[in-house]
């Protein structure tokens, strides 16, 4: 019997990027002979039934490719015994940059010096708060202020002095964030390595002439990149550290060939990488699902 899969994306995000990612995965699944349906997190009702039964779906899939961040729904599907890729736990860790850095640090993987802002119970952290002195003892300007939740570079800020820091803290309000060392050598450039299982299947360099962030959405251009063994190893280890089966790993360039892990994205869109390298990682992802279901 053909494998039956659902590809779930978020029904509230209107950008075509999200549908496109789901369609790439569906196409690869269909080509591999699966029965594959695209659904949104609205199509699949998340009912917490007290006896663990499934009162809703006539037929559960063999697997779900969960391109969304609706962790509650991913958890329910896992409790019903469905194989969810990535695992809900990996998506949760990836979505929260603080949790990601915690996992990377626990695995002793290289990350920029990172200070997690304290929990403030709804109060914004004021730049005059004595706490900020301790941060300024550890980090010199310019440094990065990065919100725990964000994408496309939009919640990543570079602050050059106390005034900019004050503005930034005010804008962030009480959302969780980190203070982070700015890796100057990597200004406007980074690497994106797509890991599937134990392998890096495609990589690119992203370069921005106009912004410290290299995100393509923030104006970066892309070129294919051949990673060295160390870069590949870091990317695979980072993917393992967050418990993901596949991920897009961002690496930063440090001094003397050093590399830092910047981000591990469990839901990395693979369209840009395909446009840049002509490698369609969705096939690698589908083959990985097949291997995992067999074992
Ligand atoms: N500590 C840092 N030093 C230098 N550049 C950074 C640092 N953190 C982030 N950047 C730049 O900002 C971009 C976006 O940061 P990232 O953490 O990947 O957030 P997002 O999820 O929004 O992509 C990175 O691709 C990189 O170019
Ligand atoms: Mg990123």
Of all residues in the chain, what percent carry a pLDDT higher than 90? 90
Reference 88, options 74, 67, 99; nearest CA is 74
pLDDT in tens, 9-57: 999 987 899 999 999 999 999 999 999 999 999 999 999 887 777 767 8
**pLDDT given for residue 49 in this prediction:** 80
Q: Is the CB of 153 under 6 A from ligand 1?
A: yes
Query: Is residue 140 domain-shared with residue 222, that is, in the same domain?
Result: no
Q: Identify each DSSP E strand in the chain by its residue range.
A: 4-9, 35-40, 63-66, 83-85, 114-116, 143-147, 156-159, 177-181, 189-196, 199-207, 221-224, 246-253, 259-265
Using the predicted structure, report yes or no on whether residue 167 has a pLDDT greater than 80: yes
Question: Whole-angstrom Cα distance, residue 139 to residue 133?
Answer: 10
Last residue of a domain, one of 182, 206, 239: 182
Q: Find out whether the beta carbon of 264 lies less than 6 Å from any atom of ligand 1.
A: no
189 and 176 within one domain: no
Mutation test of ligand 1: which of 145, 206, 263, 273 has the most ligand atoms closer than 8 Å to its C-beta?
263
Query: Does residue 218 register a pLDDT over 90?
Result: no
Q: Specify the CATH number for the domain of residue 138.
A: 3.30.1490.20
Number of domains the chain contains: 3
- Both 226 and 100 in one domain: the answer is yes
222 CA → ligand 2 middle, Å = 14
DSSP-derived 3-state class of residue 269: coil
- The answer to whether the predicted template modeling score (pTM) of the entire model surpasses 0.85 is yes
Q: Please indicate whether residue 190, judged by its CB atom, sits closer than 6 Å to ligand 1.
A: yes
Query: Which burial class, exposed, middle or buried, applies to 164 when counting CB atoms under 10 A from its CB (0-12, 13-18, 19+)?
Result: middle
Domain that holds residue 176: 114-182
Is the C-beta atom of 220 inside 6 A of ligand 1?
Answer: no
């Amino acid at each position: 019997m053909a494998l039956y899969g659902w590809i779930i994306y978020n029904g509230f995000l209107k950008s075509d990027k999200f549908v496109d990612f789901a369609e790439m995965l569906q196409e690869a699944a269909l080509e591999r002979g699966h029965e594959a349906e695209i659904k949104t997190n609205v199509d699949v009702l998340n009912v917490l039934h007290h006896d663990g039964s499934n009162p809703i779906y006539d037929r559960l899939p063999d697997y779900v490719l969960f391109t969304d961040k609706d962790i509650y729904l991913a958890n329910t599907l896992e409790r019903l015994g469905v194989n969810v890729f990535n695992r809900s736990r990996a998506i949760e860790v990836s979505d929260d940059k603080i949790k990601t850095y915690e996992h990377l640090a626990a695995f002793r993987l290289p990350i920029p010096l990172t200070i997690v802002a304290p929990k403030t119970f709804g109060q914004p952290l004021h730049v005059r708060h004595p706490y900020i002195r301790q941060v300024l003892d550890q980090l010199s300007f310019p440094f990065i202020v990065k919100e725990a939740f964000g994408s496309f570079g939009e919640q990543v800020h570079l602050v050059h002095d106390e005034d900019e820091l004050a503005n930034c803290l005010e804008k962030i309000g009480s959302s969780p964030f980190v203070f982070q060392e700015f890796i100057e050598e990597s200004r406007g450039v980074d690497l994106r390595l797509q890991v599937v299982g134990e392998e890096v299947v495609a990589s690119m360099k992203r370069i921005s002439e106009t912004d410290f962030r290299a995100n393509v959405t923030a104006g970066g251009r892309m070129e294919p990149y051949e990673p060295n063994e160390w870069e590949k190893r870091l990317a695979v280890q980072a993917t393992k550290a967050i418990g993901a089966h596949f991920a897009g790993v961002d690496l930063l360039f440090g001094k003397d060939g050093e590399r830092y892990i910047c981000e591990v994205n469990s839901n990395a869109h693979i369209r840009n990488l395909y446009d840049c390298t002509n490698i369609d990682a969705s096939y690698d992802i589908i083959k990985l699902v097949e291997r995992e279901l067999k074992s």
